[in-house]
Amino acid sequence: MGAYLRRRTLQTIPTLFGIVVVVFLMLRMLPGDPAVFIAGENASPEALTAMRTNLGLDMPLHLQFLTYLGRILQGNLGQSLMNGNPVAAIVAGALPITLVVGGLALVLSFLIAIPLGAAAAFTASRGHGALDHGVMIAALIVDTIPGFWLALLLMLFFTLQLGMFPATGALDPTNPGAFLARLTLPVAVLAIGQIASVARITRTSVLEVLHEDYIRTARSLGTPEWSVLFGHALRNAALPVVTIAGLSFGRLLGGTVLTENIFALPGMGTVLINAIFSRDYPVVQGTILLYTLMFVAVNIATDVLYTRVDPRVQL
Amino acid sequence: MGMIESTLSRPMAIAATAIARPAYAVPGFSLSLGAVGRFLSKPATLIGVLVLAPMVILALVAPVLPLPDANAPDVRSALQPPSMSHFFGTDKLGRDIFARVLMGARVSLLIGFSVAAIAVVVGMALGMLSATLGRGVDSAVMAVVDLLLSFPSLLLAIGFVAVFGAGVVQVIVAIALADIPRAIRLQRSLALGIRGRSYMDAARLFSAPTWWLICRHLLPNTIASMLVVGSTYAANAILAEAALSFLGLGITPPTPSWGNIISDGRRYLQDGWWICTFPGVAIVLAAVSLHLLADGFRHSLDPRAEA
């Protein structure tokens, strides 16, 4: 287990290196002279020189990269061009919001989607296809609803028409009621975005397991159906569901960018989009780097979780 | 079940199937007239065709339809609700939303289909090369594939347009960047699966050249599965374009796209619900019908699949 974790982490080193190269190149691939692009056409020569020094653009490319890599390894993501604050601090300040919203959405989507998917598979296997068809059609439609559009519709209905769930205003964790009311809609939107894929995988997985010999054995021994479903089928169907949690995490991260933008939540997505519009490239690089590291970390965690969920898996 | 499973553990394969949903078609069945018949005989597929075809046709003929100019402001008719003169209402500047949604369809559908075409063509080419040209090419291609897949796809696209700017071409490339590695991977695993078939052994016995193997066997036997995923790529690309444009990073005004019409309307949510609503419905309809088409492709190209 520990050895596997170490090996798996070592295997990601080339990937991490590649990610850093791509993020490093972002700034260098800006059209024309990056310093002019960021500072503007009318910047004075002195300002441009200062900008080049600030961004490290006055060095040869390989030295720029080594400097960048060295700083990142020390946790230094550079300074914001807007206010000179360290990017690491800016990103660290925004991260908790993104984690709270994304985490709540993930939990909520599992709580809804797993029972739905299992129920669809179970009724289908018993010859009642109505619920199954309903769930699958709903999943298809829900899966194609753009999250940001759903957010606007929910905001129109709940916030503007009914006056529930404020969509703007401060986030104050010391006031749990207001805090949760403020987060309800963003979490709901993100959770709905995940439900379809999780329900679908649960259904497929449970359907497969229901054909296994041990299920037939359990039934032939007179095991009650609820026990077959919960005690045997769901437990054995859990592995693919864990897998998809990792794989759909990327989609969840993308969703948080849009959702934070709409509900004015000061998370990483808001930081990223504001930085793009103000051409604050060190902040853009820092946020994209952190998003990607989170994605890679979750994928490792998913792999490791296999062994916990299913002892048959040898890694 | 698809060939992809031969390279993945079973739970991974189930997950992969469900993510790429509609599952991969079984390779070995190529396009034929019978396939077209089977394709349209499924009610869900027919619905998909009946929804998507009019959208595509309307998008194509939109410039010659007797509609108000999609970009011409008309302050006297600002923020009007849907009516017979303005089917989908008007926005703050008095522009006709119906005309804007139709003109936006041209951009949004173009991006959707272009991304799918690029991803499928590049994916097939590189996946095939990766599977046939030996270990060196294979590991180089797969290293790039793994690297691209380690970025969350929307963030990869956002990063790309943050560097290269907004615009139709940039958006197409930005979105395709996330689909190409997936297409390469699928094509590669399909090709590797076919490599062991007896007809491939037979061809090799006659010392058929690599290009012959590719054109005669690999291409026809994998194109079906690539069509299936291509349809889902198109659906996802339409959603991704909308997301980028909504953030102000994709297609920028005055050119209408479904995403930027919604972005435009979000400020008038209270006074003009119709501005956001109709382009959103268009996105959902287009994406759902593309998924139905993908399902139809899968069933028609694989007679063994359950009805």
- Give per-residue pLDDT as tens, A127-179: 777 888 888 888 888 888 999 999 999 988 888 888 888 777 777 777 777 88
Residues 128-147 of A with CB under 8 A from B: 140-141, 143-147
Give the model confidence (pLDDT) of A184-210 as tens digits. Answer: 999 999 999 889 888 888 888 888 888
- Alpha-carbon A73 to chain mean position: 23
Query: Least CB-CB distance to B287: which of A144, A201, A284?
Result: A144
Residues 141-180 of A with CB under 8 A from B: 141, 143-149, 152-153, 155-156, 160
Q: What is the mean pLDDT of residues A286-306?
A: 88
User: What is the rounded CA–CA span in Å between residue A250 and residue A106?
Assistant: 12
pLDDT at residue number B31: 53
Task: Give chain B's residues under pLDDT 70.
Answer: 1-36, 38, 301-307
User: What is the rounded CA–CA span in Å between residue B1 and residue B100?
Assistant: 43
* Cα dihedral B271→A186→B284→B228 (10° resolution): 160
Give the model confidence (pLDDT) of A90-102 as tens digits. Answer: 999 999 999 999 9
| Residue A315 pLDDT class (50, 70, 90 cuts) | low
Contact A144 B288 (CB under 8 A): yes
Residues 76-115 of A with CB under 8 A from B: none
Q: Who has greater pLDDT, A304 or B142?
A: B142
pLDDT at residue number A313: 65
Return the structure tokens found at B245. 């444009």
Integer angstrom CA distances of residue A277 from A272, A283, B129? 9, 11, 40
Q: What is the mean pLDDT of residues A29-54?
A: 81
pLDDT at residue number B158: 94
**Alpha carbon of A254: minimum distance to chain B alpha carbons (Å):** 5
Q: Is B140 on the interface with A (CB under 8 A)?
A: no
* Residue B134, burial from CB neighbour count under 10 angstroms (0-12, 13-18, 19+): exposed
Q: Is A295 on the interface with B (CB under 8 A)?
A: yes
Q: What is the mean pLDDT of residues A55-77?
A: 86
* Cβ count within 10 A of residue B68: 18
Q: Which residues of B touch A22 (CB under 8 A)?
A: 147, 151
CB distance A188 to A205 below 8 Å: no
Query: What phi, psi does A219 have (nearest 5°)?
Result: -65, -40
Query: What phi, psi does B74 have (nearest 5°)?
Result: -145, 90
pLDDT at residue number B1: 33
Q: Is A248 on the interface with B (CB under 8 A)?
A: yes
Residues 207-226 of A with CB under 8 A from B: 208
**Residue whose structure tokens are 């990142």:** A72
Note if the bond before B43 is cis, omega within 30 degrees: no
Supply the ipTM of this predicted assembly: 0.88
Q: What is the pTM of this model?
A: 0.87
Integer angstrom CA distances of residue B104 from A77, B52, B250? 39, 15, 13
Q: Who has greater pLDDT, A258 or A310?
A: A258
